[in-house]
Each structure stands twice: as structure tokens, then as C-alpha cells.
Structure 1
Amino acid sequence: MVVAGRSPVESIAFGWWAACAVPLLFVDLAVHRLPDRLTYAAAGGTLALLGLAALLVGDPTAWWRAVLAGLGAALFLAGTTLLLGRRGFGLGDAKLALSAVAVLGWLGWPAVVLGTLLTFGASALCGLALLATRRIGWGGHLPFGPFLVLGTLGALALS
């Protein structure tokens, strides 16, 4: 389990992220939007709590890795929005990725890779299934937030 053997502040940081991310999953499924109030709360709270954990544990490397991983993912997703418009990921997805990938980055680069593979793999499989059953067309849109949350939770459970 991901919180076993972790400091209380690390566990609180993971819990904070999950408390923000799970409602975001359902909101994105329902209305294809990720509200700023929750994405900003997830990012700010998670990064602040992980920063506090880094100070208490005395290992700033994990915090810097979390920040770099989260920023890299957010910039990639935001870049697709800017380059591809509506065919790219939404800016809400980029804001959610900042906190989701930061949580994985805290655990290490293998967790980031696993979370990325789970997220994009599940999204691709779901999209292909919807195309095959003709429930969505080639121009259709899938909310990416639920896959990001589930991929991150899956990587947390497996790390």
C-alpha cells in the first residue's frame, strides 16, 4: 500500500490529492470540464504538503522530482491544447496533470512511467472500444481527467 511506511505528511499529501481528484473524475465524466477551484486546490495543496514532507524528511530531491514531473506533464498537455486546439487535451487536464504526476514523481521516475502508461493505455483502449461499438465517431471527444485520475491511482497502488 502506498501510505505504508510513509511519513504522516506524505500520507496527508496523497490523501489531499485523492480528495480533490476523485470529485474531478466525476465532474469531468458528467460535463467534460475540470473546475479551476479543484484543480488549483489539488496542485497547490499537494505541492505544498509534499514540500513540507521534504523539509521534515530532509530529502529535497523527491520534491524537486515531483515538481519537475508535474510541470513536464502539465506543459506537455497544455502544449497540445495550444498546438491542436479542441483536438488537443484541455487546459483542465494540464492543471490536473500538474498534481497527479507530481504525486507519482514523489515516488520516483518508475512510478511516473507506470502512471503514464496506465493513463494513456486505458484512454486508448476505451477510445478504441467506443469506436468499435460506434458509440463515438472519429471526431468525438473523451474526457481525459478520469483516465488521469485512475491511471495515477493505479500507479500508486502498484508502486
Structure 2
Amino acid sequence: MTGGLEYALIAVAALWGAAAGALLPRAAHRFAVPAGEEWRSACPRGHPLAGWLGPARCRACREKPYGTDAGTASGAGAGAGRSTGAGPAYGTGAAVPVTVTALVCAALAAATGTRPELAVWLLLAPAGVLLATVDFRVQRLPDPLTLPFAATALALLGLTALVPEHAGEWTTALLGALALGAGYFVLFLINPAGMGFGDVKLALGAGAVLGWYGWPTVLLGTLAGFLCGALYGGALVVARKAGRKTSIPFGPFLISGAFVGLLIGAYTA
């Protein structure tokens, strides 16, 4: 791939990632609820939300900003404030998901080049960022995201295997999903307090993505995830923000490890 084409591909991937990341805040707000609770269907002031994708802003709040009545005290949140056009923001802004998704997509494009599986990685990347965001906030990996993530990964990679110039194997992707899912299921049975069943479901999708480039990539991505989680947990203990038995969300590190493994697998394929 020539230098000009490579830079153009990376730029297009980054723009795609930024556009997709801008659609994640509302979904993150709706999914980020503790286990056992219904997905949010309204803004903090109780106005119904239309759709799952888009900025975390409520149009119905536009005429009456937060703080103007007694019913807003419990729902204002740190992200509330005055705004124009689409109403005040709730939850967190779009800067982080836009930036992270753009960087992830750009890195995937740089590693994969023009091979057809790049389209799969770019479609899955925003879902991975959303899953990591939700799990980091409330330690929950929603079934409507984890299971479709795995199924979509396998389906799209199956179609990619029919396209010339791909660099992976669909059979290994399927076996990687089953192997990593089984491994995490064993860990869940051994220590259900430290490994949630949502992690087991997410491991299916991560295993499929990593398995596309072979078993060494599966092993590398798995080890990278546990290393990232261990470093984060250790840092919290050192900073005295957590104890040795404090539960931490593992989904973001599972996804981060899969991202590292995928980058290296794509580079070396």
C-alpha cells in the first residue's frame, strides 16, 4: 500500500470512528444502569428518550434548563447545564468516545491496510468502545450488546472469508470464540465474585476477533487483557483507592487486550 493511500485510509477510518463515537453517549446513558434495573428510557428529568444513538441531550429540556424546578435536583448530574438547540446535556459528553473511537479505528486501519477484514474491525470498534464505557461505569455488560457482538463478528468474518485477499481463517475465529468463552466460563465457575457472566459472553466475541488471525493472536490478546487488568488493579491498591478484594470491571481490559492482540495480529498477518 502506497504512502498516500495508507494515510488516506487512516484518515477515513478516523473520521468514521469520530462519527460513530458521537453516537455513543445516549446509548451509554441508557445502558449504564446497575444490574437488575431496566434500561433507562428517559433523561434525568423524566422526558422520554427517542432512540438509542446520538448525543446525550434532551430536546424536551430545551425550554426549561436544569435547576428551574424542584423535580430536577436528583437528576441534574455533573454533566447538566444550559445549552441551546438540543437542550442541556446529561451524563458525560461526547469528547471521550469520539476521541477514543477515532484513535482505535485509525490504529486498526494502519495495522490492517486494505485487507477486507478492516471493514469488520471498523464496524465492531464502536460497539467495543460502548461496552467498555458501560462496564467501566456500572460494572455491567448488557446482553443486548455482548451476544450480538459475538454473532455479528462471526457472521461478518464468515462473509469476509469469501472475499479475496483476506488474511485470516473463519474456522479459527469460530474455535477461538468457543475456546475463549469456555476459558472465561471456567474462571467464572471458580470465582464468580471476580468474573461476571457478562465477561464470559463478551469473551465469545473477543475470541472470534482474535481467532481470525490464529491461535498465537488469541493467546496474546488474552494475556494482554489480564495484564492490563492486573496493572489497573495494582495501581488502585497502591493509590489506596481499592483493596485486594475490591471488584473492578474487567470488560474494558478484556476489550483492550483484544485490541492489542488484534493490532499485532493484523500487522504480522
On whether the aligned pair clears a TM of 0.5, the verdict is: yes
Give the TM-score taking structure 1 as reference length: 0.88
Aligned to 2:150: 43
Matched-pair contact (CA < 8 Å) for 1:17–1:99: no
**Highest Rg: 1 or 2?**
2
Per-residue deviation, 1:125: 1.2
Please show how residues 1-159 of structure 1 align to structure 2 within 5 Å: 1-7=110-116, 10-57=117-164, 62-87=169-194, 89-159=195-265
Query: Structure 1 or 2: larger helix share?
Result: 1
Give the partner amino acid of 2:192.
Answer: G
| Greater RCO (Cα-Cα under 8 Å, separation 6 or more) | 1
> CA shift at 1:57, angstroms?
4.1
Pair 58,156 (structure 1): closer, same or farther in 2 beyond 3 Å: closer
Q: Structure 1 residue 155: deviation in Å?
A: 2.1
The CA deviation at 1:5 is 3.5
For structure 1, list consecutive stretches of 5 or more residues without a partner in the other structure. Answer: none
The answer on whether the counterparts of 1:118 and 1:155 sit within 8 Å (CA) in structure 2 is yes
Kindly indicate whether the alpha-carbon contact (under 8 Å) linking 1:54 and 1:63 is maintained by their aligned counterparts in 2: yes
CA distance in 2, matches of 1:13, 1:77: 24
Unpaired stretches in structure 2, ≥5 consecutive residues: 1-109
Matched length: 155
Counterpart of 2:107 in structure 1 is none
> How far apart are the structure 1 equivalents of 2:155 and 2:127?
14
Structure 1 contact 78–94 (Cα < 8 Å) conserved: yes
TM-score (norm 2): 0.54
